[in-house]
Copies of this chain bind each other. A is one copy, B any other.
Amino acid sequence: MIGVVATLKVQVEKTSEFEAVFLDLAAKVKANEPGCLLYQLTKSKTEAGVYKVLELYASMDDLKAHGGTDYFKAGGVAMGPFMAGRPEIEYLDAVE
């Protein structure tokens, strides 16, 4: 199992628009990716505009498939105007 923590920095005045686009993407992930076991958007309690996505995938192939979907690519394009910087993506190995 593979873990991901994605840190996303969003323009403070655009957080509502960002959340709407992200939650639409998350719904598509849940509907289409049985190998994606967790795809949970969270936001910092202390830093405005800072979000973290907690993700778990059954395998590296499932993670690659996620990044290759049309709706993931379209979501990235749709979020672009709301972002305040490049995403930071950390990849992790689950310990079981």
Q: Which residues of A contact B (CB under 8 A)?
A: 1, 3, 5, 19, 22-23, 38, 40-45, 51-52, 54, 56, 90-96
Cα separation A80 to B40 with both chains bound (whole Å): 30
User: How many copies make up the complex?
Assistant: 2
Which of the residues B3, B5, B45, B91 comes within 8 Å of A93, measured between beta carbons? B45
Main secondary structure of the interface of A (DSSP, over half): strand
A-B contact pairs, 19 of them (CB 8 A): A1-B40, A3-B40, A3-B42, A5-B5, A5-B52, A5-B54, A19-B95, A23-B95, A23-B96, A38-B38, A40-B56, A41-B94, A42-B92, A42-B93, A43-B92, A44-B90, A45-B91, A45-B93, A51-B95
* Nearest opposing residue in chain B for A56, CB measure: B40
